[in-house]
Structure 1
Amino acid sequence: APAVEALVAEYNAKNAGKIKVVIEPQPDYNAYEQKVRTSLAAGQAPADIFTIKFNPTTATFYQSNLLMDFAKVMDPSWKQTFDAGSLEQSTVDGMLKSLPMETAILPIWYNMDAFKKVGITELPTTLEGMFAAFDKLKAAGITPTSQMTGDTNAWTSMIWFSHFAVSLGGTNVWEKSFTDPAFVEAAKLTKRMITEYSTSDAVGLGAGGSGGHFLAGRTAVFSNGPWYAGRADLAATPFFNSIKIAGLPPAGSTKDFMISRLQANICAASSKDKAREAAIVDFLKFLTSAPSISKLAETSGAMFAIKTDYRPTKPLQKQFYDVAAAAKTTAFDLEAALGSEATLEFAQQLGALALGRISAEEFCALVDRKIER
């Protein structure tokens, strides 16, 4: 990202002749995650500094001696700059082998210009009202939502499923067996979204296609995190200023929550070279300082686990902060709660569910087998 490049250039200029940070671009995050896993499994850190999505799968990386334990190098003043809850979530067995950097809420995005075309000016507040609104959109030739079953996590549809599951089963739903009725009903609702209210190419579609439909105005409802709000191609759309974000209308008894996650945690390679270790820590203190984070937040639209006085001025980015503040509680999405193996199975079986090859009960049983408990 340009903002990160600018910060690295600033740091390198201040430390010329002493420390030089070099960025290795990672255009494909799924490939990057695989590279990290493969490298660590081979007994080698992928870089001096790298990022992970913190979840039960990546938490196993903490068992490796290749990673620096920040708990041993973090002074009180640096520790106080982080959100305490995010630090706690990132701590495993007393070890802090990754720093919480980017956080996210994962709301539903509504193109209100599209809704206004069918006479709807307010967000639906009930599930019945949502389906009625979607039926009006369909009747007007507008595909209601962007769904997908492709990639390693069926990203946008995984977000919808997570909203349904938490509303039906409570914020602790991920602690239950995946064969619990809450997950079965969430699977049925997600299948309905794909088969009745999405594009014809949703089965097998990746995140680029799902987002592309929304950007092109072919779909009226989308789901993604705050980083997407800073995209230039989104800002260039004719409906950009009409976008509203919110949770889904409740499918069950749990209401007024928001799906959230630790989106990116920073890891560092452990080193017996004390000068190298000190250089890594020095750069990370700079990168996670309030001024640096404010610059990143302003340009990217992302949200962070570091305390700053930054408040966005751009309306869409401000909505993310407002929605997060208004939520009475939060719950993880499926990937953040259950890890990559269960999420991959979710994505692989979601297409079969949508095509009617397996039932919702069978779908949930298949995913349940991949969950490590």
Structure 2
Amino acid sequence: MTAPLSRRSLLGLVGAGAGAYLLGGCSGDDSSDDPDAPQTINWWHIQNTEPMLPVWAAMAEEYRGAHSNVTIEIQPLENEAFKAKLTTATQAGSPPDLFQSWGGGVLKQQLDAGLVKDLTDDVKPWVDGLLPASLQPYTIDGRIYGIPFDVGMVGFWYNKDLFSQAGITETPTTWAGVLDTVRKLKAAGTVPIALAGKDKWPVHNYWAYLAMRIGGLGALQQAAKDGNFDTPDFVAAGERLKELADLQPFQPGFLGAEYGSPDGQAAIMGNGGAAMELMGQWAPSMQASSSTSKKGIGDKLGFFTFPTVEGGKGNATDAFGGGNGFAVGKDAPAATIDFLKFLLTADNQRTSAKTGAVLPTVKEAVDAVTDANNKTVAETLASATGFQLYLDQAYPPAVGQQVNDSVAELVAGSKTPAQIVKDITQVAKSQ
């Protein structure tokens, strides 16, 4: 997504960007194959807010303490700033040594450009300890080019109190039910849905899920092959999304809203200003860290999966989402892969999981998920019959960006469902 996130995945996606900082006592020539030679790891990640920002820093410090020859330069970046900076770096042929990745089409493009290392042989001794599904976005032609530290899915997060005040006793299981829920919330004087329209990738979650429920996973997979989005199923997805947009369910000024800003989507949910958001597994922690109280709405928060669409071919138990991981740059020093292994130990994964921002990919660490909502997400994902990576990551970058742009135009009312599929197809066919 990009994520998105996204986006987003992904997660602590947003917040005030932090500058680069150093962990280590020495620097020097990184070109030597001698494991004891001075080495500097340039690490870019997007966990630039509480709760994961200090967790990553502490792990890097612990690793450096055990490897006095290693310096770790950490660059925490906001999601969109990260993508822009990484694009500049990769276009120059100089990717960071260790950097955030969602896999999929973006990673494939980096691989084709010779910018990332093949990790298959290096991680073989320990990669079987990861959940198999989490590796899928990072596996290309049977080889592994990234390692996931988090995996999850997008779904509806909702405020139980606001639902109750509107007389809503059950979460919707159909798209018609979602629309009816929106009407009831509006009638009760509640903002039904918080949305970061400026960031665009949160908007794409709706169209992607609707396309999955209407056309099935096969429709998305076929579009990836032939680049054709100008089909009845994708048009129908836009029409269903327009039904929602026509109800004006979003907060005032949503088109200019960001996801993680003080008045953005996550903060609105965390402060009880809206009843729902469609977001990934990181939503509870982001709501909390973005809220005025820094606690969010606590046990008032609930989760339900994206509903079925009447007459759709998609399976209600197919999940849409992704995870967060790291790729290793082509010129990374030898210690980089060892540091990546360290981040993925069961103990460190448990530490990450206990923050509530990460659903671990290490099998042994799954027991550290204690939050009730995170457990629901993990259980739902575990029983999923199919999985689709965020479209802005699954497809080539230009296609993913066009999906985000076009869906945002649809929700803004400047393009029709029929127009956006033609725009996306035009870009996809040119790749």
* TM-score (norm. length: structure 1): 0.88
Give the structure 1 partner of residue 325 of structure 2: 265
The answer to whether residue 208 in structure 2 is matched with residue 159 in structure 1 is no
Give the structure 1 partner of residue 371 of structure 2: 314
Give the structure 2 partner of residue 38 of structure 1: 88
Query: Matches of 1:299 and 1:357 in 2, distance apart?
Result: 40
Give the structure 2 partner of residue 12 of structure 1: 64
Percent identity between matched residues is 23
Give the structure 1 partner of residue 112 of structure 2: 63
Alpha-carbon distance, 1:97 to partner: 2.5
Query: Matches of 2:322 and 2:192 in 1, distance apart?
Result: 29
Alpha-carbon distance, 1:236 to partner: 4.9
Alpha-carbon distance, 1:34 to partner: 1.9
Find 2:278's aligned residue among 205, 208, 223: 223
Query: Matches of 1:79 and 1:239 in 2, distance apart?
Result: 37
Secondary structure in 1 matching 2:382: helix
Q: How many residues align?
A: 363
Structure 2: gaps (5+ residues): 1-52
Give the structure 2 partner of residue 2 of structure 1: 54
Note closer, same or farther for the CA distance 1:354–1:299 as it changes in structure 2 (3 Å cut): closer
The 8 Å contact of residues 149 and 349 in structure 2, kept in 1 or not, is answered as: no
1:114-156, Cα deviation, whole Å (9 max, x unpaired): 11002212112222222222111111111211234322xx122
Note closer, same or farther for the CA distance 1:330–1:193 as it changes in structure 2 (3 Å cut): same
Query: Matches of 1:63 and 1:328 in 2, distance apart?
Result: 31
Deviates more, 1:229-238 or 1:157-166: 229-238
Query: Matches of 2:89 and 2:294 in 1, distance apart?
Result: 39
The answer to whether residue 255 in structure 2 is matched with residue 210 in structure 1 is no
Query: Matches of 1:239 and 1:65 in 2, distance apart?
Result: 45
The answer to whether residue 383 in structure 2 is matched with residue 303 in structure 1 is no
Give the structure 2 partner of residue 249 of structure 1: 307
Alpha-carbon distance, 1:294 to partner: 1.2
Query: Matches of 1:126 and 1:67 in 2, distance apart?
Result: 42
Alpha-carbon distance, 1:258 to partner: 4.3
Give the structure 2 partner of residue 367 of structure 1: 424
Query: Matches of 2:427 and 2:397 in 1, distance apart?
Result: 10
Note closer, same or farther for the CA distance 1:293–1:316 as it changes in structure 2 (3 Å cut): same
Give the structure 2 partner of residue 73 of structure 1: 122
Query: Matches of 1:270 and 1:333 in 2, distance apart?
Result: 25
Query: Matches of 2:136 and 2:297 in 1, distance apart?
Result: 40
The 8 Å contact of residues 56 and 339 in structure 1, kept in 2 or not, is answered as: yes
Please give the root-mean-square deviation of Cα atoms over the aligned residues, in Å.
2.4
Structure 1: gaps (5+ residues): none
Query: Matches of 1:91 and 1:270 in 2, distance apart?
Result: 17
The 8 Å contact of residues 58 and 339 in structure 1, kept in 2 or not, is answered as: no
The answer to whether residue 410 in structure 2 is matched with residue 353 in structure 1 is yes
Note closer, same or farther for the CA distance 1:355–1:222 as it changes in structure 2 (3 Å cut): closer
2:83 aligned partner, one-letter code? E
Alpha-carbon distance, 1:50 to partner: 1.2
Query: Matches of 1:219 and 1:340 in 2, distance apart?
Result: 32
The answer to whether residue 184 in structure 2 is matched with residue 136 in structure 1 is yes
Deviates more, 1:109-118 or 1:245-254: 245-254
Secondary structure in 1 matching 2:126: helix
* TM-score (norm. length: structure 2): 0.77
The answer to whether residue 151 in structure 2 is matched with residue 103 in structure 1 is yes
1:196-248, Cα deviation, whole Å (9 max, x unpaired): 12223233433232223322322211021122322434685674312221212
Note closer, same or farther for the CA distance 1:260–1:125 as it changes in structure 2 (3 Å cut): closer
Note closer, same or farther for the CA distance 1:106–1:82 as it changes in structure 2 (3 Å cut): same
The answer to whether residue 253 in structure 2 is matched with residue 201 in structure 1 is yes
The 8 Å contact of residues 104 and 137 in structure 2, kept in 1 or not, is answered as: no
Query: Matches of 2:183 and 2:142 in 1, distance apart?
Result: 51
The 8 Å contact of residues 149 and 205 in structure 1, kept in 2 or not, is answered as: yes
Secondary structure in 2 matching 1:22: strand
Note closer, same or farther for the CA distance 1:371–1:308 as it changes in structure 2 (3 Å cut): farther
Note closer, same or farther for the CA distance 1:118–1:304 as it changes in structure 2 (3 Å cut): same
State how 1:143-182 maps to structure 2 within 5 Å.
Answer: 143-151=191-199, 154-174=200-220, 175-176=222-223, 177-182=228-233
Note closer, same or farther for the CA distance 1:147–1:258 as it changes in structure 2 (3 Å cut): farther
Give the structure 2 partner of residue 116 of structure 1: 164
Query: Matches of 2:143 and 2:386 in 1, distance apart?
Result: 26
Query: Matches of 1:339 and 1:250 in 2, distance apart?
Result: 28
